[in-house]
Amino acid sequence: MTNPTIDLLLARRSVSANSLGEPGPSTAELELILRAASRVPDHKKLVPWRFLLFQGEARAAFGGVLAEICRTEESDPGAFRLKTEAKRFLRAPLVIAVISRIVKTPGAPEWEQTLSAGACCQNLIVAATALGYGAQWITEWCGYSEGVRKALRLADNERVAGFVYIGTAKEKPDERERPKLAEIVAPWRP
Ligand SMILES: Cc1cc2nc3c(=O)[nH]c(=O)nc-3n(C[C@H](O)[C@H](O)[C@H](O)COP(=O)(O)O)c2cc1C
């Protein structure tokens, strides 16, 4: 039995941000990717997530912001580290910050809303892969930094679920070992 969606899911591999290059998705492709990402299970239709796009010059500009935050948050980052930060978002033509946004609602626990944001990240990756791009969902230090939270102007109910890097794979990633189903799947027994 062959099925293109199953084939994609079974073959998908993340492509490391360092192995991504130009070109990135076109405007029309980006819209498809974002539509796929906003079509995830969402209990009570709260839309508990949003997307921040980094493309073109915004990536270098945000790199400058990251280097400045690194300088204040780390005791002695050194010139090499600061240069790395300045170039962090330049690793791919497109970086999408998925922002989880908790909407306090009876019957829709925070946990479920957080999971929904995770589903957005995965749909971004699957949609980008389906269109022939490479993608990686990462957080790194900037996903957890107070300074980055401020720079992204996140509200108190928001946090970074991930930075999804999307571009063209410069090299095909090696296969990655996957868990054996027998080790993670079991029938429930009374
Ligand atoms: C929430 C989350 C955060 C992650 N953060 C990082 C990260 O900061 N750096 C990293 O190398 N991989 C990170 N990963 C792992 C990659 O997304 C990816 O799973 C890994 O490169 C393996 O690729 P695969 O998707 O082909 O299994 C993260 C994964 C998740 C779910």
Hey, where are the domains in the chain? 14-56+90-170
Confidence of residue 184 (pLDDT cuts 50, 70, 90): very high
Instruction: Kindly provide the residue ranges of all beta strands, DSSP E only, lying in the chain, ordered along the sequence.
Output: 20-21, 49-55, 94-101, 134-138, 158-169
Average pLDDT over every residue of 20-47:
98
Percent of the chain topping pLDDT 90? 99
- Give the Å distance between the CA of 123 and the centre of ligand 1: 14
Average pLDDT, the chain: 98
Token readout for 167 is 């571009």
User: Which amino acid is it at 118?
Assistant: G
Length of the chain in terms of residues written: 190
**Mutation choice for ligand 1 from 116, 124, 139, CB with most ligand atoms inside 8 A:** 139
- Give the Å distance between the CA of 176 and the centre of ligand 1: 12
CATH 3.40.109.10 fits 14-56+90-170, yes or no: yes
DSSP 3-20: -HHHHHHHH-----GGGE
pLDDT > 90? residue 43: yes
Q: What is the pLDDT of residues 4-24, one digit of tens each?
A: 999 999 999 999 999 999 999
Number of neighbours of residue 178 by Cβ within 10 angstroms: 8
pLDDT given at position 30: 99
Q: What is the pLDDT of residues 69-127, one digit of tens each?
A: 999 999 999 999 999 999 999 999 999 999 999 999 999 999 999 999 999 999 999 99
**Mutation choice for ligand 1 from 137, 171, 176, CB with most ligand atoms inside 8 A:** 137
Which residues are CB-contacts of 166 (< 8 A; sequence separation ≥ 6)?
A: 20, 24, 25, 33, 92, 93, 94, 95, 96, 124, 128, 133, 134, 135
Are 21 and 62 within 8 A, CB to CB? no
Confidence of residue 1 (pLDDT cuts 50, 70, 90): confident
| Ligand 1 atom at minimum distance from 137 CA | 17
Q: How far apart are CA 131 and CA 125, in angstroms?
A: 10
- Give the Å distance between the CA of 136 and the centre of ligand 1: 7
